[in-house]
Amino acid sequence: MQAQTTSVEPEVTSYLSSDHIQMFVGGKWTDSDSGEMLDVIDPGFGRRIARVSAGGASDIGRAVDAAQDAFRRGSWAKMPANDRAVIIHRLADLVDKHRRVLAQIESMDVGKPISQSYNYDIPKVSESLRFYADLSVHTRRREPIAVSGYESYTNKQPYGVCGFIFPWNFPLQLLGIGIAPALAAGNTVVVKPAEDTPLTSLYFGKLVQQAGVPDGVINVVPGLGRTAGAALASSKGIRRMSFTGSPETGRSVAEACGRNLVPVKLELGGKGAAVVFDDVDLASAAKGLSNALTLNAGQVCCTATRWLIQEDILDKFVDQAVSDLQAVKIGHGLESGTEMGPLVSQKQKDRVLGYLKKGEDEGAKTLLSGGAVSIKGHESGFYVTPAVLAGSPDNICAKEEIFGPVAYVMPFRNEDDAIELVNRSDYGLANSVWTKDIDKANRVAESLVVGINYVNTHNDIPMGVPFNGWNRSGFGGGVLGADTLLDYFRNQSVTRPRT
Ligand code: NAD
């Protein structure tokens, strides 16, 4: 039977049918100075669905200038927090109102199932905006300091222009989570979305206009990393930087920021581990991990790709997980029932297939053979099937971030053994522990060198729970926590002698 395709909203058709989508700078839609364009590909069909203006260094310069002007005007930075919160709430309401449109654009751009973009990605954007808007209203700006002989207080001030560079896997969700605290604190922002997936970030610009956010407070400049991204990271006009992406690019962004003494927050890659003990509910753990592996076709920084299974349940667990993964319905993101879409690009597909080959060349045993798959009617799409490998912890697939639906299974004997295996990784983003014994779960979790631990689940991101990577997975404060708002203020002191 032919799968039903979600009917595309007329607004989506009209958005994508323009000759090209311009950049959003200083509250206006504008072409790039060079007039260059980027093609945007629907990875489910492997064909172009839109063109966007490709920003370069001068366009980033214009956007930073616009954001600086907006900050200096003070109509945003000096606005009372509750008035600013009203505007941010209005923006959140508009995101909700356009949820269907945004979810469809996100699915076509990234390839993810509409159920994921509609139920998971887009709602997180409005939730983040509201969370930080509300928090900012209740955050004390002035704190008296008890100091002998003086009257003194600290005063929280926004930084100024904050730069944001995002990857392609959760484009609008990461944008929302990222910029909400910066905006709520009174900063202005310049966003550089990933070149593969700029569409929802640009559509967000339309909502920014409708919400009445003052011109220049939010600017969106799509473009290549080596041009627009590098220009933003090395701009002398920004006062704070936030980068989400690979450790390799994160290093060059941090170097550029270091040269200008600009503080930077890095949210980088991961090689998450799941530690599954033998007392677990085997069916639900296997299902939980196969769902985690196929979420966004495995292109999830925090997902679990190293599966450590206690040795006496290893075979049963693998059988169950393999059967769950074989049942996953692969298809175009807009087709009903699709559980896993394509990878985002041919480049990403080549990367995943390359890792499978290297892993097998290094001696990994294949428990579920993954690889390229042709989907009827979508033969040019970038589809792969999930794979499960097993073998030595020194195998390349056990160590490096593949960023696709590939799990690597390793057995362990006891708690100490599991902790040692997990902590071999330089990455430290997100792990999970699966057991009915909550004391054991917490004990093991606290022994892992990682920023985020889950127990009997994986990939959840409740608002308010800090999401921050350690070591090769990043530094600088993370996202999603209440403290993240404070990262976008700097403390100023005011002191006078007591008379
Ligand atoms: P990437 O590092 O290749 O690109 C990320 C962004 O950086 C893109 O916008 C790109 O254009 C830009 N960029 C590239 N070169 C640049 C340069 N020289 N200077 C400035 N900017 C540059 O990463 P990707 O392939 O888009 O995303 C995948 C990576 O992102 C994975 O490692 C994944 O784990 C990570 N990620 C981390 C988180 C997190 O919260 N920790 C979330 C999502 C993705």
pTM here is 0.97
What percentage of residues in the chain have a pLDDT greater than 90? 98
Q: What is the pLDDT of residues 131-165, one digit of tens each?
A: 999 999 999 999 999 999 999 999 999 999 999 99
Nearest-CA neighbor of 55 among 68, 41, 38, 42?
A: 38
Q: For atom 40 of ligand 1, which residue has the closest CA? A: 267
pLDDT for residue 2 is more than 60 = no
Amino acid letter, 335: E
Ligand 1 atom nearest residue 301's Cα? 34
* The dihedral formed by the CA atoms of 198, 204, 209 and 213, expressed in degrees to the nearest 10: -110
User: What's the 169 CA to ligand 1 centre distance in angstroms?
Assistant: 9
Kindly indicate the confidence band of residue 209, based on its pLDDT and cuts at 50, 70 and 90: very high
Tokens of 383: 């589809």
pLDDT for residue 117 is more than 60 = yes
State the average pLDDT over residues 169-183.
98
Cα gap 301→473, rounded to integer Å:
9
Beta bridge partners of residue 21, listed in sequence order: 52
Contacts of residue 474, defined as CB under 8 A and 6 or more positions apart, other chains included, come to 250, 265, 266, 267, 268, 429, 451, 468
Dihedral sign (CA 204, 209, 213, 217):
positive
Residue 138's Cβ-count burial label (10 Å; 0-12, 13-18, 19+) is exposed
pLDDT for residue 5 is more than 90 = no
pLDDT for residue 1 is more than 70 = no
pLDDT for residue 234 is more than 60 = yes
Q: What are phi and psi of 76, to 5 degrees?
A: -105, -50
Catalytic annotation present for 257: no
Kindly indicate the confidence band of residue 6, based on its pLDDT and cuts at 50, 70 and 90: confident
Catalytic annotation present for 301: yes
State the average pLDDT over residues 488-493.
97
Q: What is the pLDDT of residues 394-442, one digit of tens each?
A: 999 999 999 999 999 999 999 999 999 999 999 999 999 999 999 999 9
Which residue has 């080596």 as its token pair?
226
By most ligand atoms within 8 Å of CB, the mutation choice from 195, 241, 244, 480 for ligand 1 is 244
Tokens of 481: 């926590």
User: What's the 249 CA to ligand 1 centre distance in angstroms?
Assistant: 6
Q: What is the DSSP string of 27-44?
A: TEEE--TT--EEEEEETT
Give how far Cα 204 sits from Cα of 80, 114, 175, 200, Å.
Answer: 24, 18, 10, 6
